[in-house]
Amino acid sequence: MAKLYFYYSAMNAGKTTQLLQNSFNYNERGMDTLLYTFKFDDRYGEAVIASRIGLKSAANVFDKHLDLFEDISKRLTDNTACIFVDEAQFLMKAHVKQLCQVVDEFDIPVLTYGLRSDFLGEPFEGSLYLLLWADELVEVKTICHCGKKATMNARFDSECRIIRHGEQIDIGGNEKYISLCRKHYYLGDCKGGNKK
């Protein structure tokens, strides 16, 4: 029986690297994979999943209007062994339901990778429903500058002050976000941040 997996963490834990490595492992054994990423993220150009350590792969994109069940149905072949979704926090509730349907009807594993919470510590829609409905929840760990597990994604300004208001989606990397433990998130201490 195939399962729906949610690999969750704070930022910079290496989720995308894991996704690309896992996909590569399938490909190396002659099996095909289907990769998806969120359309809004154009950091590395459209339809590419790229990790910070240099791995990358072409990918299909989803936006809020795409019916993932229908799209996957069209792209599946007899040789498709696994489906990967990066930036899974940006899935809509309906998308998560569609991925459950893919797992249950096609008996094919779906591995999703995303952030557990946003820069205010609030849930993303995709992560919320993945946490509720995925068969397997796997935490990918990363650490705060103090050495404790980082669970929060702080967004900071040019003065390295933590931003406490704003839109949920503001695409960025190390220049804008830092992973912190809960204590240092609430203390507002982003010491060790990658301030430019």
| Residue 39, Ramachandran bin (φ over 0: left; ψ between -120 and 50: alpha; else beta) | alpha
Asked if 190 is part of the footprint of Zn ion (rule: CB under 5 A), the reply reads no
In angstroms, the CA 155 to CA 177 distance is 4
In angstroms, the CA 37 to CA 110 distance is 13
Nearer residue to Zn ion within complex by CB, 101 or 117: 117
Decide: 16 and 86 in contact? Cβ < 8 Å.
yes
Question: 119-132 b/e with 16+ CB inside 10 Å = b?
Answer: bbeebbbbbbbbbe
Q: Between residue 30 and residue 49, which ones bind Zn ion under the rule CB under 5 A?
A: none
Asked if 184 is part of the footprint of Zn ion (rule: CB under 5 A), the reply reads yes
Least distance CB 180 / Zn ion (angstroms):
6
Least distance CB 178 / Zn ion (angstroms):
10
| The one segment of 3-11, 57-65, 129-137, 184-192 that binds Zn ion by CB under 5 A | 184-192
Q: Between residue 123 and residue 162, which ones bind Zn ion under the rule CB under 5 A?
A: 144, 146, 148
Is 105 designated active site? no
Residue ranges in contact with Zn ion by CB under 5 A: 144, 146, 148, 181, 184
Catalytic positions, please? 87
